[in-house]
Chain A
């Protein structure tokens, strides 16, 4: 006679459990952490390059870089002033998961830092499903990607805590309807904090830096 055994367990629970462990570890060290996600070429590394010099003398920053191959991004983060940068090569995986971040955390003396920036693999689909254990998730959109991205990648736009819109200096040259884009964002993620910036001209970056500083301060209190 078959017997029904109730389970009710989240299928990605193994990753979620590890993400909670990562979170506890980062939190215990008093570090504020963000998971930076975007499509390839939106400007994840450029944001990091623009952010680090503006935080110099204020915050000690570690960067963990996820890429399928090469250490180009970790090298750029280090050149921009990261106190430590760790490259994770996912070997084909299209996203970071909690296990990979745990491996990187083990290489860092977390107490030495105020801010941990995790740069995920460029991808608007899979990183949304794998929690890492960071405090906040940040999505970087960019003007050349087009204004339809919230509608096409709802899972990503729904799950993030802050949105950076990069390359706004290109608005005059590209048919990007900001109203249409923001309506999509608002429907999926009402009230999300948004930073229109240009990494090329530096426009809008002060607000982004302030948001980071406030979060680091709040986390330390």
Chain B
């Protein structure tokens, strides 16, 4: 967004000098701004404002809406299912950002080294990313089956007791995160790999001369220099994880019970199964606030690590 407005306003600056005329005339850059403005108004501002407006109404599909003020919002904290779904979303997001980040960085370091067949193996590694989430979900559902699934068979090979995976409230979220991690670790790997490739070789050479260990080279040279990339990766992962719907819906539909019901799934039920549009809108507004808060926290963190100083690379 900020990128767009920057490029739109930049060419206008020389015009300010020529605008010293009597009477008011529209700035000459308007025609250039207008299309973007219309699009933004139509697809972002208007739906957003309309959602807020709907959230102030008791609005059931099939019945006329009535204005209820903040009643829908007041209902939220006492709605146990909603409160639980916020918690589920946070846990699910935290895990599905952290694990791919960790494993993806590790994979990137491995694939950054030169070894035979590297290109082929890299290609193999990013395959999960290319598959359709719903198809993946159906395959994993079969693998998770407590009696007939392959995962329990694999556990039995190493002498571990069978698990209930997505069929038990305590293990359902970790099991779903397993699918997310499997699919999205390659993305983090790709981003970090790009970062590693952009680091010049001089720092490593001087570190080598100074007698740094491999861990020290990674900790004090690679890690700070790829930090900006890690932030980008975690931002992308966070957005993906917060809005995740397909995998959860296809595998558990929020179950067992409501143990894996995230805000998104609950929202879907309220809007399209219960047809309670007003209340659903209130949930969306709160959900939006939550996403903004998470993104802001992440951005703050990024600023605190001075990535601009370190990251001449970006």
Q: Do A and B bind each other?
A: no
Write the residues of chain B forming the contact surface with A, with a CB cutoff of 8 angstroms. none
Write the residues of chain A forming the contact surface with B, with a CB cutoff of 8 angstroms. none
